[in-house]
Structures are given as structure tokens and as C-alpha cells.
Structure 1
Amino acid sequence: MADGEDLFPDRPLIAEGEWAGWRLWQGSDPYEDLSGPYYSRVEPDGSVLAAFRAENKHMNGGGFMHGGCMLTFADYCLFVCGRHALADTHAVTVSLNAEFVGPAHVGDLIEGRGEVVRAGGSLVFLRGTISTGGRTIMTYSGVVKKTRARA
């Protein structure tokens, strides 16, 4: 990927407010629309940063971010962080592993980073971290399979 290349030109660019300069990820996955909104941007070093603001709907009964919410966001991160390896193809998650290492609360800015470990002909292997306030709250790894579009 070239320095400064925008991997997400098909996503709306936010012009003002907290998310100015970010791309809104919406409209292609009904479940992510329900659980988000999620945002992404390409950093100056070419890496992808994904984020969302934790709301009450993301919390469990104990007042901490629900593990299912963290896993959903990690799955989203697989696809945005692996976007260049998945260009011009459909794909599905075939494996997602995670370690929960800390809590998140309402109002926290949740950030996801990841990297492609290996991209083959049909499988892409990734790993990354989810954090808030500079501290890791989850690590993840996953495998995404490239698929053909259904007729």
C-alpha cells in the first residue's frame, strides 16, 4: 500500500465533530450497523486504525464492556486491517481467537489495530489488539477465507 493511500474511498468521510477525518463503516453489514457505529482510517505509517465510542448498549450487567461486543469489534478489525489483502473479493471469518485482558466502560474510546501475518491464495491470517486509553483490553487473532460471490 502506498503511503497516504485511502483504503476506504467507498465509505463516507466524516467532515466535522469527534470523528472528523474518519470513514464511517455502515450499510454493508446489518449486524455491524446495529452494534456500531464503527469508524476507520489509514494512519500516516499506512496502518489501519479502527474505533468506536463505548455506549451503554455495549455493556454487560456488571457495567463493563460485554465480551461479545469486543469480539464483534475484533471481527470488524479483521476485515478493515486486512482490507488490502481482501481487495476485490468476498470473505468470511473462519476462525477468531481472543484473550480478554482488561475492562472498558461507557464513554471509553475503543481502538483496534491489526496486521496481516500471512496472506495466501484463499486464507488471510491476522492478529491485533483492542485498547482504550493506551491500555490493551483484548488481543485477537483470526483467519479470513476469501470466497466467491454467490450467483
Structure 2
Amino acid sequence: MAAEVVKDGEFKGWSTWREEPFEFETAGPFYFRVDDQGPVAAFRAERKHMNMGGVVHGGCLMAFADFSLFAIAHEHLEGEYGVTVAFTSEFLSGPAEGAYIEARGEVLRSGRNLTFVRGLITGDGKACLNFSGTIMRRPIRPDQ
């Protein structure tokens, strides 16, 4: 799946998957890149991401964690399409509106069909959610 490089704004130079309408338009937009510390995914917490308690909604953090699985494993997937087949997470804290939300992690193992990833999401540097998941490679069907 081809990533698109962002041309302007806070995340200029980062990449995103515009073909993923839920992650780009609805839950996000979310972004990723590789820096000197490795793969990183990020977004800026906006009003639309908040719950009634004034912190980022847990569902938003989980959607971002799912996006981050693929951002962290991007180089291992070698441009192939994949789906999440397992996902776990634990909430640690809730970031406020305006927070810079970041996910970093590692690929634990990558085989022919399955890739295992774990990571940590922070909000302005404070741990918010830890997560792990399994990605299964699969071909994109022409009717998708």
C-alpha cells in the first residue's frame, strides 16, 4: 500500500495513507515516518478526538495504535497489504486536547504471513497506552 508524503502543515515531510478513509478522515489524520530513533507515528489531539472527560477518547487511542502497528512494521511489510488479526492494549493516562500524540515500538518477529509488533503511545511525553498486535499479510482483492 503506497504512502503519501505530506506537503504542508505541522506534519510536512511525514507520510500517511490517504486510501484509509477511517484512519485519515474519521479517526485521524495520523502520520508516520522513520527518524534517528526508528519508526514513529503521530497526530495532534483535536476537539474531535476528545471524550466528555476532556481527554482523548480511548477508541481514538486504540485506532491510532492499530495505525501505528502498520507504521512500525511498514518496512517489514515491503509494500504489501495487511490486516490486524490480534490486538491488545492497556490504558495508562488520557492526553488533553492539543497534545502531541506519538507512538513508537518495535517489530518482535516478522515472517512470511505474520508480523508481531508492540509499542507505546505517549501524549506530550507521558505514557498513555501500551499495545501489541499481529498483522497478517493478504492480497488486496480487486473488488475492494
- Does the TM-score normalized on the shorter chain lie above 0.5? yes
Whether 1:105 aligns to 2:96 is yes
Q: 1:119, 1:26 → 2: CA distance? A: 21
| Residue of structure 2 aligned with 1:67, choices 42, 58, 71 | 58
CA RMSD of aligned residues (A): 1.8
Q: CA deviation at 1:138?
A: 0.5
Residue aligned with 2:70, SS: helix
Identity of aligned residues (%): 40
| Residue of structure 2 aligned with 1:12, choices 5, 24, 28 | 5
The residue that corresponds to 2:136 in the other structure is 145
TM-score by length of 1: 0.86
Cα deviation, 1:76-115, whole Å, max 9, x if unaligned, reads 0000110111113211000110010011111000001121
Provide the aligned length of Structure 1 versus Structure 2: 141
Cα deviation, 1:41-94, whole Å, max 9, x if unaligned, reads 21024x111110001111111111111000000000000110111113211000
Q: 2:128, 2:4 → 1: CA distance? A: 27
CA contact (8 A) 2:3 2:17 kept: no
Gaps spanning 5+ residues in structure 2: where? Answer: none
Letter in 1 for 2:61: M
Residue aligned with 1:82, SS: helix
CA contact (8 A) 1:26 1:37 kept: no
Q: 2:140, 2:4 → 1: CA distance? A: 21
